[in-house]
Amino acid sequence: MRVVELIEKKQHGKALTKQEIDFLIKGYTEETIPDYQMSALLMAIYFKDMTPDERLWLTRAMVKSGDTIDLSKINGVKVDKHSTGGVADTTTLVLGPLVASLGIPVAKMSGRGLGHTGGTIDKLESIPGFHIELTTKEFIAHVNRDKIAIVGQTGNLTPADKKLYALRDVTATVGSIPLIASSIMSKKIAAGSDAICLDVKVGSGAFMKTPEEARKLAEAMVQIGNDAGRKTVAVISDMSQPLGNAVGNALEVIEAIEVLKGKGPKALTDLVFELGAQMVVLAQKATTVAEAKQLLKEQITSGKALEQFQKLIKAQGGNEEVVTTYELLPQANYQFDLPATTSGYVNIKDAEQIGLAAMLLGAGRAVKDDEIDYGVGLVMHKRIGDHVTAGESLLTIYSNREDVSEVEDKLYGTIEIGEKPKLPPLIYDIVTTE
């Protein structure tokens, strides 16, 4: 096969075969195909799309490029959850212990954050002593014993995807549905789960800005998952404002604990119940979403979900007393309220700017090697559509430096006060194969 002929084939909108896709991904991973040729192919895919078969073959080729995780020694149906990312998306910290408390195994591999806030691993590492380094044997043993373990991603999981993503990032081909879908699903399939629940974000704080774009991505991923033999469902949820009120690592851990105590913010709690119910149905512990939601609510009311979180923390070396004593978590030295400059109704122009404001404080990474300050961040007091009077606090800034003027400017630039805006729905749709 000649790479240039395959590039021309895709440029003319023709479908590549499984053998051709395998050849391209293997060659690029092994560096026999150079960046400039793969860049041309990615651009052709960006403009000409891929068929469902091509998307599945691309996903499988990326899975085959590296290690896969064998979870067959874990008892029960293993359900994974993936979010396409957003601001104050603390769902994994709540969902893991909540779903595990029903006896459903949660064998979770998560990543660190690169961007406005830390990833799930960064949030957990804000708990004193918590470590994410487990051998595969320990990982499986923890899940069989405690029903939950959360570890960092292995270094050789889907190396083809890592190389392709880096190339997409510098060739303006990130925003391609088949490339996004195969990237996400290759990692989920390689991680060894039996079923997958996807949380596809839409809005100014998400990668997909419109419900139409989000639906296309959700449908593409659900089809890949099911065609690959993994029962898959996607929830399309709003990210036009932070999901929870807390933006920042230790602050989000506190908020997750509050949800597990039944005292968390409504939007975060409601989405957790929706995603969790889908996971419970996928794990065959309930036959309907309504039945599953009731089971989950009972786990919070009884305190069993919170106990499960303590069990996870203790098993992975952390101080489980943080559940009752928040002062054990990293603390910021300064707190500043951001007052409303006028009276009216709150609107948020761009939710991502709120995340970037938290990153300026040190809550996230601008580049891979940046160190995260676990104690800093923001706590929102007002959401879209809430009324505020002049001088009332919109949010509190938690900082380890006294000068937060740059952060305040960014926040004032995106939080508007005026006429009552139209409230976005929390959940737009549920996408399944049915």
Catalytically annotated residues: 82, 161, 168, 183, 187
The secondary structure of 118-156 as a DSSP string is --HHHHHHTSTT------HHHHHHHHHHHSEEEEEPPTT
Distance CA 411, CA 433 (A): 41
The number of C-alpha atoms within 13 Å of 328 and in the hemisphere containing its C-beta is 14
Distance CA 220, CA 417 (A): 38
Place of tokens 């160190």: 371
H/E segment holding residue 93: helix 91-100
Place of tokens 């990326």: 62
Contacts of 348 by beta carbon, 8 Å cutoff, 6+ apart: 204, 240, 241, 354, 384, 414, 415, 416
Distance CA 116, CA 316 (A): 26
Residue 55 contacts residue 224 (beta carbons within 8 Å): yes
H/E segment holding residue 338: strand 334-339
Among 68, 101, 31, CA closest to 276: 101
The number of C-alpha atoms within 13 Å of 84 and in the hemisphere containing its C-beta is 31
Contacts of 133 by beta carbon, 8 Å cutoff, 6+ apart: 151, 152
For residue 226, give Cα distances in angstroms to 51, 166, 173. Answer: 15, 27, 25
Distance CA 76, CA 419 (A): 51
Residue 86 contacts residue 351 (beta carbons within 8 Å): yes
For residue 276, give Cα distances in angstroms to 106, 110, 378. Answer: 12, 17, 26
